[in-house]
Structure 1
Amino acid sequence: MVAFASPLTLVAACGQVDNIPKPLTEKQSAVLMKELNGKVAGKPVNCISDFNGTNTIRVSDNILLYRVSGRLVYQNNLRSACSGLSRDDDIIVSEQFGSQKCKGDLIRLVDRTTGMTGGVCSLGEFVPYRSEKTTG
């Protein structure tokens, strides 16, 4: 008699592996430190406005930064690793509803040359990092 694992068991096993973030490389750590240096983490939010003209910065296969201004950056720890995200070669296509990026929204990686779709990943919470106001 041959036993097969249920599809749910296989998905759960894969999800557990993907949820373990790889340690950041020295270069990735430097990018993260540069963007968050002098800023203080705030309370995580589920959505951010897409009208701010945010600049997306790829830190690793798990971490995206959305720079709103020099004083405000949102860190998003993806719900699972997004293979190839850190290479910065592929185009990020957001699958969102309305004018906000929200926790659970999907992003797809699309090859710049061939147009083929790569990884599909889910956004996590957005942690705001703000520069402290200076009194003068």
Structure 2
Amino acid sequence: MLRPYLIATSVIAGAATLAACATTMEPRQRSPQAAAELARYLDGKTPGKAETCLPSYRSQDMIVVDENTILYRDGSNRYWRNDLQGNCNGLGRPGTFLLTKQFGNTGTCRGEIARIVDSGSGATVGLCSFGDFVPYTGPRRP
């Protein structure tokens, strides 16, 4: 039988290991195509203060930049950028979609889980969470 202090020590050690991994993660590499796509929408725009939630009325027009970054169009001159946390494998590939659960009327918030689902099989192919929502405002873009 394991003693409670051994279990607690194991949990603390595991949490410390995960925290160390999270703080030493390499910045994600963006493909040249994804970098060009991000620049297409955000060049010339000024980032604003990050928000923890994006109201649901603003989350209808989503643009997938790559497996790590999505944009939400808000009118003709503002985009909300979200750098996803975790492994969003398959996001943006044909035959997949992003599935989230909304709780109440708060919209989509940092830390909420997003599943990437294969539309043919219904299988989850990626799992990640939302980061902060950063508004970019400026001249009109496509």
TM-score (ref. length: structure 1):
0.79
Higher helix share: 2
Q: Which runs of 5+ in 1 are unaligned?
A: 1-5
Show structure 1 runs of 4+ deviating over 2 A. 6-11, 13-22, 86-89
Q: Per the alignment, do residues 61 and 53 of structure 1 end up closer, same or farther by CA in structure 2, a change over 3 Å counting?
A: closer
Aligned length: 130
Superposed CA offset, 1:30-89 (max 9, x none) = 110111122110010001111135311111221111112221101111123422224353
> What is the rounded CA distance, in whole Å, between the counterparts of 1:73 and 1:88 in structure 2?
23
Indicate the RMSD between aligned Cα atoms, in angstroms.
2.9
- Per the alignment, residue 114 of structure 2 pairs with 107
- Per the alignment, residue 3 of structure 1 pairs with none
Identity of aligned residues (%): 31
Q: Per the alignment, do residues 7 and 111 of structure 1 end up closer, same or farther by CA in structure 2, a change over 3 Å counting?
A: farther
TM-score (ref. length: structure 2):
0.76
Query: Which has the larger Rg?
Result: 2
Q: What's the offset of the Cα at 1:7?
A: 8.6
Q: Which runs of 5+ in 2 are unaligned?
A: 1-11
- SS class of match (1:84): coil
